[in-house]
């Protein structure tokens, strides 16, 4: 039986031109690597090509460094950037939260059972409320309070925690603070946020109650990379749930929480499996 865990990932992009698929597949064949999954997309508007390939080496002596060095020479002819990810890679993560615990709880459960290939190094919060949850999972909890006057100092402390953890991904699991422009720039392509999909129609406090008053028929959630535009970064994935006149505000809140959990977990999975390519203010996502 073939080992499903021995799957490497090669993710690459370059300008659209003849031979983009061939340069990947031919090289893998020459290296005696069997392709188990492959997805590609050519954006005709921007003339940009994206490809993601999962493969397993046929030779037990597979050398990742030699593979990357040899492929870099081949890819140079196409000015192709690429990333090679080893099997069972668990990327280091920092999670940021405030008081709401539903998204954090869901991520920790999936992490505990091995469903998410991540290594949670720390949980950072501007409130002390969720410290017991982190402690139960044996994960360091950093309580860093914030006020409008101390925002620069607090963000500097947050950045120190991120760097100390060696985090390659920051997950904002209902972190209810607006990050500064400089922090957003530092975390470009490396921070995922989750929010309800009632925006921009129902801004501010109690959005689900506002939606109830308008008789909405769908609630949902959006997971996206952060940028300087509040809640308007490149979207990774979205989820929706139908509601009806029989649902009261508390029902909309409960359904919204469920969709947020599922959507955030899915976005994290897509990111760590190298299925997401940033493309200007959009994303190219090769779904599972």
| CATH number of the domain that residue 216 is part of | 3.40.50.170
Residues 35 and 133 in one domain: no
**Domain's final residue, options 53, 85, 117:** 85
What is the per-residue pLDDT across 239-288, written as a single tens digit (0 to 9) for each? 999 999 999 999 988 999 999 999 999 999 999 999 999 998 899 999 98
Query: Do 81 and 127 have their domain in common?
Result: no
Q: Which residue is listed with tokens 């008789």? A: 215
Is the same domain home to 255 and 172? Answer: yes
Instruction: Give me the chain's average pLDDT, please.
Output: 93
Q: How confident is the model at residue 1 (pLDDT cuts 50, 70, 90)?
A: very low
Answer whether residue 1 is part of any domain: no
Tell me the C-alpha distance between 195 and 184, whole Å: 17
Q: Is 2's pLDDT higher than 60? A: no
CA distances 131 to 135, 159, 264, Å, are 6, 19, 21
139 and 214: one domain?
yes
**Total domains present in the chain:** 2
Write down the pLDDT at residue 3.
55
Residue 207, C-beta contacts closer than 8 angstroms, at least 6 positions apart: 196, 198, 199
Q: Are residues 159 and 273 in the same domain?
A: yes
67 and 171 belong to one structural domain = no
- The pLDDT of residue 229 is 75
Predicted pLDDT of residue 260: 96
Q: Are 213 and 201 in contact (CB under 8 A)?
A: no
CB 243 within 8 A of CB 218: yes
- pTM of the entire predicted model: 0.93
Per the domain annotation, does 2 fall within a domain?
no
User: In this structure, are 140 and 104 located in the same domain?
Assistant: yes
Same domain, 71 and 147: no
pLDDT for 103 beyond 60: yes
What pLDDT digit, counting tens, does each position of 71-90 carry? 999 999 999 999 999 999 99
Average pLDDT score over residue span 198-204? 63
Residues 74, 205 within the same domain = no
pLDDT score at 205: 76
pLDDT more than 70, % of the chain: 95
In this structure, what CATH number is given to the domain that contains residue 14?
3.30.70.260
Three-state secondary-structure class, residue 100: coil
Residue 130 lies in a domain: yes
Which domain does 40 fall in, by range? 8-85
Q: What is the mean pLDDT of residues 1-5?
A: 54
Backbone angles phi, psi at 254, to 5 degrees: -65, -45
Name the residues annotated as catalytic. Answer: 231
145 CB-side CA count, 13 A: 4
- Flag whether 3 is in a domain: no
């Amino acid at each position: 039986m073939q080992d499903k865990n021995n799957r490497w990932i090669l993710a690459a992009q370059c300008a659209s031109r003849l031979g983009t698929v061939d340069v990947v597949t031919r090289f893998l064949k020459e290296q005696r690597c069997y392709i188990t999954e492959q997805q590609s997309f050519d954006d005709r508007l921007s003339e940009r090509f994206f490809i993601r390939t999962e493969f397993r080496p046929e030779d037990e002596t597979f050398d990742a460094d030699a593979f990357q060095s040899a492929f870099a020479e081949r890819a140079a002819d196409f000015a192709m950037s690429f990333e090679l990810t080893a099997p069972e890679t668990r990327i280091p993560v920092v999670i940021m939260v405030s008081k709401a615990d539903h998204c954090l709880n869901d991520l920790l459960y999936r992490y505990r059972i091995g469903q998410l290939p991540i290594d949670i190094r720390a949980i950072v919060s501007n409130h002390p409320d969720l410290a017991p949850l982190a402690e139960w999972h044996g994960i360091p909890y950093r309580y860093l309070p914030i006020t409008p006057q101390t925002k620069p100092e607090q963000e500097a402390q947050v950045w120190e925690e991120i760097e100390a953890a060696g985090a390659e991904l920051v997950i904002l699991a209902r972190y209810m603070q607006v990050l500064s422009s400089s922090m957003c720039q530092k975390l470009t392509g490396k921070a995922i946020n989750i929010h309800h999909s009632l925006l921009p129609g129902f801004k501010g406090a109690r959005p689900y109650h506002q939606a109830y008053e308008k008789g909405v028929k769908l609630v949902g959630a959006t997971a996206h990379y952060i940028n300087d535009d509040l809640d308007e970064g490149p979207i990774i994935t979205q989820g929706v749930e139908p509601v009806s006149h029989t649902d009261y505000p508390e029902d909309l809140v409960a359904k919204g929480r469920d969709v947020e959990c599922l959507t955030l977990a899915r976005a994290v999975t897509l990111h760590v499996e190298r299925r997401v390519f940033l493309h200007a203010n959009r994303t190219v996502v090769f779904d599972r």
